Amino acid sequence: MPGERILVVDDECHIREVIRIKLEIVGYVVQTASSGPQALEMATEFRPDLIITDYTMPPGLDGLPLLRAFRECEATAGKPILLVTGSVAITNTLESKMLEFSHVTLIKKPFSPRNLLLVVQKNLDTCKEKTEMLATRTDHG
């Protein structure tokens, strides 16, 4: 739903900007970060509804450690994450390791902006439905 907040994390400026522009055109509020540490710092204030992050970013915090950090951060703990990678080897390894993380979707490069928008909306809708179901249980339970 337009107006929702999305944090885009990628060390490649042109990828960040293409994603930002595509998301903003359809009405999302977007902030971008070029590193894992910067993303965690921004997330505390921005409080994104969804995160799109590249898996491999030099230097510092990326990959599975970054996913763990997002899960430990109060502002991003239960938020959906789209994890982007272009490496087939990383993709094969990740599919088994991602079972430990909830609400993480793997996006393989190259991806079309249209498909990315569909995956973003699907993840936001799923998260919203789960939140509404929990609220209903709490109200009636």
Q: Give the phi and the psi of residue 99 in degrees, each rounded to 5.
A: -60, -25
Domain that holds residue 32: 5-140
Q: Provide the CA 61 distance to its chain's centre, in angstroms.
A: 15
The CATH number for 106's domain is: 3.40.50.2300
Return the pLDDT at 37: 94
* Mean pLDDT in order along the chain per 10 residues (141 residues): 89 94 96 96 96 88 88 93 82 66 81 93 85 62 56
The tally of domains found in the chain comes to: 1
State residue 127's pLDDT score: 79
Alpha helix (H) ranges present in the chain?
A: 13-25, 36-46, 63-72, 88-97, 113-140
CA distances 50 to 5, 30, 78, 97, 138, Å, are 7, 10, 9, 20, 24
Strands 29-33, 50-54: pairing is unpaired
